[in-house]
Structure 1
């Protein structure tokens, strides 16, 4: 069984007999139809690997690294030099150091290929211009690959002065690259798409393919690719999941395992038509690696754990520019204007939801090609939803919370009264002037935020075949279902309680697979200023 690698070096896949998801058919289409391109993708999605694959193809040809790939017997172009500018290797905190790092990358290339007449400059745009001019005079062609162009910008979102200085340098670099005859092919990658970096103005001959349907699955894994290239690991996972030997795993069991992997790691859409989707390659790779090493199934939060919450998002939550309650319903669509999505100007004033989308926490949920003035975004999968809302909760409350009372985990061991007491404790911490509990959804949202900050797996508005439960808390051996109502007086609270009880019974909330101990509670929040608590409640059998 081949090993799995998250390495960005394409040659490692051949040298170390590792699994490579063959993207060369799409790469071939890209190279045959485009000259200069930009593509944005979230971190840990495979941008670097894609650039390294293209670089290896141009620099070394198809032998031996592309043996057994789609492109092997189709690529006939002669080899040529590749200038690889990795902004991850350049300083993010000092302009002079950044310039020096970038100039060094350019000079190493010039020395490696013995570019006669090249002289080093302290300014990277001058060094690059001299290099490209010399190549053009000698009728040489070069491939230029720029990885993570926005690394310095993202690192300085809280330092506007330094941010603008980095912008100036980046603008000058793309001005140098514009309409340069010595460039055979140019590709630029980054997390964000920003007008102030002028990739799309000064460097207007660079085509943005970030949401082009033809290239929407170039980075990330498709379901068919996982089933084809990871079949041995899928069988291993299905064998653990069904407690059977690998040789007895059925195709149905494999597809069921793929469904579970999709629920956790699929759902990213970079397709202008909002049809094609991809899995997080980082998460899938680490999921399979953990199965092989641990010997059991565990759907970890790999992609999120690798990077956490961007500081600009954390800052927006603390300033209440982002309200965590708006993100609690994982099926809720978030709307942004078409212009703010397609034409973000700067990280300093970008729409927060557009930034969440560019960084991978939200994804497309409506076509860009429709021409509508509004674009819908949503959560891609369970991994992102659980992780982001939990961290949002901690930022909103400015502390971690707990579901333990006197050493007892109330969600795992508590009865209905103890669970409701825990909820009332949570509601008592609300700053009423900041987050008034004036509706059913606000009460539901605050309980959800509190539990998420405590690390509990809780979901709001959970759909089933018969209806939608307000709150569902999943524990290892227990499922807690809450049907919550809102009232502003004692008489109304009693009426609402009966409604909640009947709703649970008629719609049989929580009776789904996998079967667990089921605790179903009808509850009413009494908003009377003298009460402001859940006083009326009943466990429903």
Structure 2
């Protein structure tokens, strides 16, 4: 775990990205200090082969949900390295999603992101926005699904609590003038593609969110 924190966990952006490695690198016998981080994670069981890209390269992923959650917690620690978790209420996040309204939840996301040092502010696009919220939720021990497939498309992020099933659709606006258009697009996606409508026995809450790059916060959101 100490090795991972000092070598691998540079950004939560990397948490759910597909990882490629050559078979030569994977099978090479090296001293642990010379071994690549990716190869070491495979040797330790934190990554496993998920698919073969070609004759020389494979794609890696987490072997199970338990490992995925453990790695997410490490990324959450990295993201919140200089943040007081009690002050930003990370431990209350699951209860908040289970009981509170959309405004309270999104404002909480903003409060956590606002606590990140502006000199290292990590959200640069839609993918990094989604990955940071995903890592935050998993850091609070919640099960998430990213790009979950349905009959008409893939949702950005879904998360379950005891009584609710949340679906988030993210958009990233580089200019304030783009916010309203992106919000409408995200809301339409949620409705027309029927995200989250598979049977799950929970209250369904679907939220379109737009992150404003200039204000470094979610400035528009809508429940549909």
TM-score (norm 2): 0.87
Say whether the 8 Å CA contact 1:317–1:324 is kept in structure 2. no
Query: What is the alpha-carbon distance in structure 1 between the residues aligned to residue 155 and residue 55 of structure 2?
Result: 35
- Do residues 389 (structure 1) and 80 (structure 2) align? no
One of 331, 335, 338 as aligned partner of 2:20: 335
Aligned counterpart, 2:90: 402
SS in 2 for 1:512: coil
- After superposition, the C-alpha distances for 1:516-539 in whole angstroms (9 at most, x for unaligned) are 1111111111112xx221111110
One of 59, 63, 67 as aligned partner of 1:376: 59
From the two aligned structures, give the one with the greater strand fraction: 2
- After superposition, the C-alpha distances for 1:390-410 in whole angstroms (9 at most, x for unaligned) are 2332244236561528xx931
One of 40, 50, 55 as aligned partner of 1:365: 50
SS in 1 for 2:169: strand
SS in 2 for 1:340: helix
Query: What is the alpha-carbon distance in structure 2 between the residues aligned to residue 512 and residue 532 of structure 1?
Result: 33
Between the two structures, name the one with larger relative contact order (CA 8 Å, sep ≥ 6): 2
Which sections of structure 1, spanning at least 5 residues, go unmatched? 1-309
- Do residues 536 (structure 1) and 189 (structure 2) align? no
Structure 2 CA distance for partners of 1:312 and 1:367, relative to 1, 3 Å: same
TM-score (norm 1): 0.38
CA positional deviation for 1:379? 1.7
Aligned counterpart, 1:499: 185
CA positional deviation for 1:367? 4.7
Say whether the 8 Å CA contact 1:325–1:449 is kept in structure 2. no
Instruction: Within 5 Å, give how 1:29-178 maps onto structure 2.
Output: none
Query: What is the alpha-carbon distance in structure 1 between the residues aligned to residue 52 and residue 129 of structure 2?
Result: 34
Aligned counterpart, 1:240: none
Structure 2 CA distance for partners of 1:521 and 1:447, relative to 1, 3 Å: same
Query: What is the alpha-carbon distance in structure 1 between the residues aligned to residue 44 and residue 23 of structure 2?
Result: 18
* Matched positions, count: 219
CA RMSD of aligned residues (A): 2.3
Say whether the 8 Å CA contact 1:469–1:481 is kept in structure 2. yes
Which of 1 and 2 has greater Rg?
1
Query: What is the alpha-carbon distance in structure 2 between the residues aligned to residue 468 and residue 518 of structure 1?
Result: 16
Which sections of structure 2, spanning at least 5 residues, go unmatched? none
Aligned counterpart, 2:2: 311
